[in-house]
Amino acid sequence: MREDATELVLRDLVDALLQEDVAGFGARAETDCPAELAGEPLRDGESWCRVKLDTGWVACRVRPGGALQRHRFAGGAVWRGGDGAAPRQIPPEELLRLVGGGFPGAAAVAEDLRASVEHAATLLAQRAELDLAPRPGQLLAGERLAATRNRPFHPTARAASGWTATDVARHGPMRAAPLGLDWVGVRPERLRHGSDPDSHRIPDLVLDHRQRQLLDDLLGNADSADLVPVPVHPWQFDHVLPTEFAEELALGVVVPLVRGLGRFHPTASVRTLTTSPESARHVKLPLGVATLGAARLLPPRYLANAERAQACMRELLERDPLLAHRVALCDERTWCGWHDPDDEFGDRPGQLAAQVRRYPALDGLVLPMAAFAAHEWHVLAPLVPDPVGFFRDLAGAFCELGFGFLRWGVLPELHGQNVVVVLRGGRVDRFVLRDHDTLRLYPEWMAAAGTPDPEYAIRPGAPQSLRLDSAEALVGYLQTLGFQVNLYGIADALCRHFGLAEEALWTELRAAVVDCLKRLDPPSAVRSVLRAQLLDAETWPSRSVLGPLLRQGRSSGVSMPAGTGSVPNPLRAVR
């Protein structure tokens, strides 16, 4: 049975409230059935969970939570009762207000939860009209599968804050018809470019000959002859440019050229679009909306940092044949963005930019890893006749990827949206990495391995998580984003669809860790930290998302609000 949008959002919300113990929610949770709900049915293995509030209670069905937490949401409704009225079902935003209404960011998070339900319902309705069976060499179907869940375990992952349901239908990843982009001309001295020479000819890379000729004709006018054409998302053109660049539009520094030119399909990230028909080139554009509590901007300094990270990883692949066999990189050196020498670290330059991402040859079945975490295994199951064997293969290859970079003192951000997997014959052939602007570093291991420093441009005094002070902090990102968000998101979806025991998949991950430590033989300093943190420690660091959102509200910048908690080490339980 397919779950509805409300239930999907409630699942991630209740699980986060329990796991992060927001406002004492987890500590107050009791496996107790309110008398008023005694007639409501339970499935095998389920129990009632009741949490007492200052007035009344909330209750829902839960199941055993596996290795990382005591209970998880089992589906159905969340009930509110005990206040003298008959129990009633409540939506996610009301649950959030009841539990965490005293936090500064509660109103914004509640609105994002409401939007999550609305936007998820819109996407699922559109999704029903599409054939999402993956096809060799084509990424769009996998992007659409990933969009049905987005970031696993994040309660607001399905919301694009600032968009209506109509905007989601019109500009979101389930839009069936190609989408045209708007184009503006910008004075060349107000643009900053990537190192690839094609950064100066972006239209040639994403438009066909007829479309390019139309743009050339418009640029041939006397008033536009010296302008550089830059694509703009149509929503951004309507809602952001008129206010953020009002002065430049009035002075002719930024000039609208044409609307709806080109053919593109939005991907799961909504700000990145494939060309139509699909090619190896995607275009990434800023959007003045927020997802996961962070603005979807494209600051040129981030694009430049991504280039530096790409160059570092490229050198490592040239020096490490085993790693090069397992991973390929998207080329992200082709871009342009608004240049303001007086505001290098501000957000405004990130409102007008474009990047063309080039993929390597994709000659197998290709999907973002996030697609495997989506609850769409009725589509994916034909690709994977043996789900445990598939996870075994995936976990082994993923450990090769993570350990392979850690031996050089660096780690890409390995959540499921950043990592594309290429399958051949149902087996993992290799990974393709994208979004290079978050390659994290531990200088001591880098120096020992002779790894070049990317020399990131970072705002002086600003908090940052790229250059880390300890090896444990670097490995922690593999444990949180890599294992608990990415791989465990996939394990969660596999267990739900195939009825697998979660313990079996943690056993496979432990075996993969042990095997890779032995087979890859990393430097002794790296091996000892990996063994201590992954296998021997009693707890692992965990990724907290709901608590930071409630305390901070949505970020005004491009970094997602997040914190670090702890969970039991899931690999100790399966020794």
Quote the crossing angle between the two packed helices 488-498 and 502-520, to the nearest 10°.
Answer: 140
Q: Are strands 427-433 and 410-411 parallel, antiparallel or unpaired?
A: unpaired
Whole-number average pLDDT of the chain:
95
Q: Is the pLDDT of residue 378 over 50?
A: yes
* pLDDT tens-digit series, residues 296-343: 999 999 999 999 999 999 999 999 999 999 999 999 999 999 998 877
Determine the pLDDT at residue 222: 57
Determine the pLDDT at residue 459: 80
Determine the pLDDT at residue 380: 95
Q: How many CB atoms lie within 10 A of CB 463?
A: 7
* Distance separating alpha carbons of residues 105 and 511, to the nearest angstrom: 41
Cα–Cα distance list, 351 to 81, 231, 310, 354, 453 (Å): 46, 12, 23, 10, 29
* Distance separating alpha carbons of residues 60 and 50, to the nearest angstrom: 7
Q: Where are the alpha helices (DSSP H) in 89-181?
A: 92-100, 106-127, 140-147, 165-171
Determine the pLDDT at residue 85: 84
* DSSP three-state, residue 216: helix
Contact 36, 48 (CB under 8 A): no
Q: Is the pLDDT of residue 223 over 90?
A: no
* Distance separating alpha carbons of residues 132 and 141, to the nearest angstrom: 5
Q: Which one is the CATH code of 364-568: 2.40.50.100, 3.30.750.24, 1.10.10.10, 1.10.510.40?
A: 1.10.510.40
Q: Mean pLDDT over residues 497-506, rounded?
A: 96
Domain boundaries, the chain: 5-100, 364-568
* DSSP three-state, residue 101: coil
Q: Please give the DSSP secondary-structure letter assigned to residue 103.
A: S
Q: Is the pLDDT of residue 127 over 90?
A: yes
The residue ranking higher by pLDDT, 221 or 200, is 200
Residue 46 CB contacts under 8 Å (≥ 6 apart), including other chains: 61, 62, 63, 74
Q: Mean pLDDT over residues 226-247, rounded?
A: 97
**Confidence at 462, pLDDT banded by 50, 70, 90:** confident
> Phi and psi for 519 in degrees, rounded to 5?
-75, -40
Q: Mean pLDDT over residues 193-205, rounded?
A: 98
Contact 495, 506 (CB under 8 A): no
Determine the pLDDT at residue 1: 35
**Confidence at 510, pLDDT banded by 50, 70, 90:** very high
Closest to 230 (Cα-Cα) out of 244, 245, 215 = 215
Q: How many CB atoms lie within 10 A of CB 10?
A: 27
Q: In the chain, what percentage of residues exceed pLDDT 70? A: 98
Residue 48 CB contacts under 8 Å (≥ 6 apart), including other chains: 31, 32, 33, 34, 37, 42, 59, 60, 61, 62
pTM of the model: 0.96
* pLDDT tens-digit series, residues 523-562: 999 999 999 999 999 999 999 999 999 998 777 667 788 9
Q: Mean pLDDT over residues 285-297, rounded?
A: 93
- Residue 488 host element (H or E): helix 488-498
Q: Is the pLDDT of residue 359 over 80?
A: yes
List the Cα angle 472/403/496 in 5-degree steps.
Answer: 90
Determine the pLDDT at residue 342: 79
Q: In the chain, what percentage of residues exceed pLDDT 90? A: 90
* pLDDT tens-digit series, residues 43-72: 999 999 999 999 999 999 999 999 999 999
**Confidence at 566, pLDDT banded by 50, 70, 90:** very high
Residue 312 CB contacts under 8 Å (≥ 6 apart), including other chains: 410, 439, 451, 452, 453, 454
* pLDDT tens-digit series, residues 412-456: 999 999 999 999 988 999 999 999 999 999 999 999 999 999 999
| Preceding omega of 277 cis (within 30 degrees of 0) | yes
Closest to 207 (Cα-Cα) out of 224, 187, 230 = 230
Q: How many CB atoms lie within 10 A of CB 93?
A: 21
Determine the pLDDT at residue 217: 92
Q: Which of 374-383, 509-518, 553-562 is the least confident region?
A: 553-562
Contact 396, 512 (CB under 8 A): yes
Q: Is the pLDDT of residue 3 over 70?
A: no
